Structure 1
Amino acid sequence: MSVTYRDAAIADGPALADMGRRCFVETFGPHFPPDDMTLHLGRMFGPEGLSAELHDPDLRVRMAEENGEIAAYLKLAPMSLPVPHEPGALEVKQLYVLGLWQGAGVAAVLMDSAIETARSEGAPAIYLSVWEQGARAIAFYARRGFVQIGVAPFQLGSRAYQDPVMRLGL
């Protein structure tokens, strides 16, 4: 694999949204009701979703590509999870890796980049929420030093779920 990494530009919005939609369906599609998936996909990856978020100067998106195809991306932004946290903490909003590239090291490179960015900005910690049944993702974050510190609601369509919140002190 010849994977390259770069910061996303506004022009990448449609391709990132398409990749995010594919990844979400690939990962979560079999686990949630179709109507809720449709609502969520429209909200997160429709015109007001990921593409629009790229206009936010506080949001950083780092992506991995192979032969011009987006393999993975990570969104890093100021903390918004409803849990107690230190001022200046950052949050990994999404770390999405398409199945073909899972286990190939792209998630680790993207996470290392997010940690380096957070440290260089003086952030005291990075937080994230993760699907409670995502054992592989939870194990990945734990290997990187994240520990669970609570739960936070996650809205998927018409239903709210409680996802674990993990923290990495910097």
Structure 2
Amino acid sequence: MADSNWRVRAAGAADADALSLVASATFLDTYAGSLDGSDMVAHCAANNRPEKFAGWIADRSDAVTIAEIIPGFAPVGYAVLTSTVDLPVTPEPGDIELRRIYTLSRMRGSGLGPALMQHVLDDSARLSCRRILLGVWGENHRAHRFYERQGFTVVGTRQFRVGTVVHDDLVYARTVV
């Protein structure tokens, strides 16, 4: 999918380094000022390694999407769908977790977020999934509004640790049509 200044595509093995970079950049961009800086850096170092993205890309039951700016194709967003659901909900056959979906804040209003979500929906259907689940920080009201506009509803809560602090998250679900 493309627009005048960005494109969204399936990530390949060669994208693991770019995904690692954009994952840390978007996490810091999203939460700077809301979470402790040293906790954020430690979280990114532990969870955004290229090897983690390479594993998801290599797994045929997962799907990774990268968003790039045009011209130059620098990464500005991404999404990760994983067949391993790690949320405190009763799993149903055909569930998949939207583990991550982020864009840099400069991309707000560009249509990139909805385009990434459409790619997620298309990948979920391609993988024969019936329901997408995701967890989001309870204080991230911008994300709540985005997911609700995309047809997600709250189905539970969880606790999520970043560094030494445990945060309350909402768990959302949406049927794949």
Structure-1-length-normalised TM-score? 0.91
| Aligned position for 1:40 | 43
C-alpha distance in 2, partners of 1:156/1:17? 18
TM-superposed deviation, 1:16: 1.2
Secondary structure in structure 2 of the residue aligned to 1:130: strand
Is 1:59 aligned with 2:62? Answer: yes
After superposition, give the CA deviation of every residue in 1:116-158 in whole Å (9 maximum; x if it has no partner).
Answer: 2222333221111111111111101101110001112212122
Name stretches of at least 5 consecutive residues in structure 1 with no aligned partner: none
After superposition, give the CA deviation of every residue in 1:73-107 in whole Å (9 maximum; x if it has no partner).
Answer: 11111122121131121111111100111121111
Counterpart AA for 2:78: Y
Alignment partner of 1:110 out of 112, 116, 123: 116
Give the fraction of aligned pairs with identical amino acids, expressed as a percent: 28
Secondary structure in structure 1 of the residue aligned to 2:58: coil
TM-superposed deviation, 1:48: 4.7
| Aligned position for 1:77 | 82
Name stretches of at least 5 consecutive residues in structure 2 with no aligned partner: none
Contact map agreement 1:83 1:152 (CA 8 A) in 2: no
Contact map agreement 1:64 1:72 (CA 8 A) in 2: yes
Alignment partner of 2:53 out of 43, 50, 53: 50
Q: Number of residue pairs matched? A: 170
TM-superposed deviation, 1:23: 1.0
How does 1:77-156 map onto structure 2 within 5 Å? 77-78=82-83, 79-156=85-162
Counterpart AA for 2:77: A
| Aligned position for 2:30 | 27
Structure 1 stretches of 4+ moved >6 Å:
none
Secondary structure in structure 2 of the residue aligned to 1:108: helix
Structure-2-length-normalised TM-score? 0.87
